[in-house]
Amino acid sequence: MDATEKRAMEQESCSVEEWIEQELAPSTLPDARLEKRLRHLAEHLAKGVGRSIPWACQDWAAAKAAYRFFSNGRVREEQILAGHFLATRERIACGEELFLVVHDTTGFSYKREDMAAVGLVSKGSVRKDEQGWPLYFTTCGINLHSSLAVTLEGLPLGLTAVKFWSRKAFKGRKAKRKAHKAPIEEKESVRWLENLRSSTELLGQPQRCVHVGDQESDIFDLFGAAQQLGTHFLVRTRADRLADGGPETVAEAIGPSPRRGLYRIRAALEDRGLS
C-alpha cells in the first residue's frame, strides 16, 4: 500500500463530522453564518446520499434553509468546493507514481411545467431521422463537466475541477455546422481545456498526471495545452489523425504493431435484458 492509498483509507475511517470538517475547513464563504449552514447541510446530505433535499433534511425548516443557501447569490460553487479541491491535492502523496484525472460530462434532468424557469440540456435518442442523423429532444436541467483524480488501482482521491452550465435554447443542424468553425474559446468544448488546465495547476505535478477523456475530448487544442503544461493525456480517438505528421494515419501506424496486452471486461448484460 503506497502513501496515497494509506492517507485515503485513514480519512475513510474517520467519522462523517470529522471528514466534513477536513473537506470544508479551507473553504471560505462571505460570512460565518453561511459557513455554518454549509457544514450542517453537508452533514444532512452525507446521511442521505442520493436522496432529495427534503428527505435528507428531515424537516421543512432545514429544507427551506438549504434552498435559501443554494439560491444565495453570494455563494458560488467554487467557494463551496475550494476546500475539497485542496483536500484532493493533499491526498496525492509525493512520489513518482502516476495518477489519473478522469474528465466527463453529466446532464442533470428535471421535469418541470415551466420550461423557461431553468436551463435546458439536450438528450440523445436511439432513433434517427431519414438521413441517419440522431434525433434529440430538450429537457430542463443543467450540465456538469467534472474531473476526478484516481489512483492507477481505481481509488478515488477527489474532484479537481468542475464546470456547470445550461443553455437558453438549442439551434438547428445548420447553426451547429457554423459553430464548428468558431474558435475553441466560443465553443462548449472549451470546458475540456479549462478543466485540464485547472486540474494540472491545482495538483502541481504535471509529470505524474494522466488526463483521461472519451471521444469528445479528441480536440487538437487539448493536445497542445497538455504539451505546454508538460502533462500527459489518454483519449479515445474520434478522428483518424496523421501519425507524427507523416503520410500514415494513427490507425494505419498502429495496425501492424504487436498486441501488448489483453484486458477482459465482464459486463452484466443480463440485468439490462440483453444476451
Q: Are both 225 and 202 inside the same structural domain?
A: yes
pLDDT band at 7 (very low <50, low <70, confident <90, very high): low
CA 224/CA 229 separation, integer angstroms: 9
Amino acid at 7: R
Q: Given this model, what pLDDT does residue 265 score?
A: 83
CA 207/CA 69 separation, integer angstroms: 39
**For range 266-275, the mean pLDDT:** 60
- DSSP structural state of residue 273: T
Count of beta carbons in the 10 Å neighbourhood of residue 85 = 22
Provide the number of structural domains found in the chain: 2
Domain final position from 24, 59, 94: 94
> What is the tens place of the pLDDT at every residue in 128-186?
777 777 666 677 788 999 999 999 999 999 999 999 988 776 665 565 666 667 788 88
Range of the domain at 226: 96-275
Helix H segments across the chain? 3-12, 16-24, 32-47, 53-57, 60-70, 77-91, 173-180, 190-203, 220-229, 250-254
Q: Are both 107 and 88 inside the same structural domain?
A: no
Among 212, 250, 247, 255, residue whose Cα is nearest residue 231: 212
> For position 261, which CATH number holds?
3.90.350.10
Domain final position from 94, 110, 136: 94
Q: Are both 170 and 254 inside the same structural domain?
A: yes
> What is the tens place of the pLDDT at every residue in 183-224?
888 888 999 999 999 999 999 999 999 999 999 999 999 999
Q: Are both 214 and 141 inside the same structural domain?
A: yes
Count of beta carbons in the 10 Å neighbourhood of residue 215 = 10
> For position 87, which CATH number holds?
1.10.246.40
Count of beta carbons in the 10 Å neighbourhood of residue 194 = 15
Residues facing 234 on adjacent strands: 212
The region that residue 158 occupies, defined by phi over 0 for left and psi between -120 and 50 for alpha, beta otherwise, is left
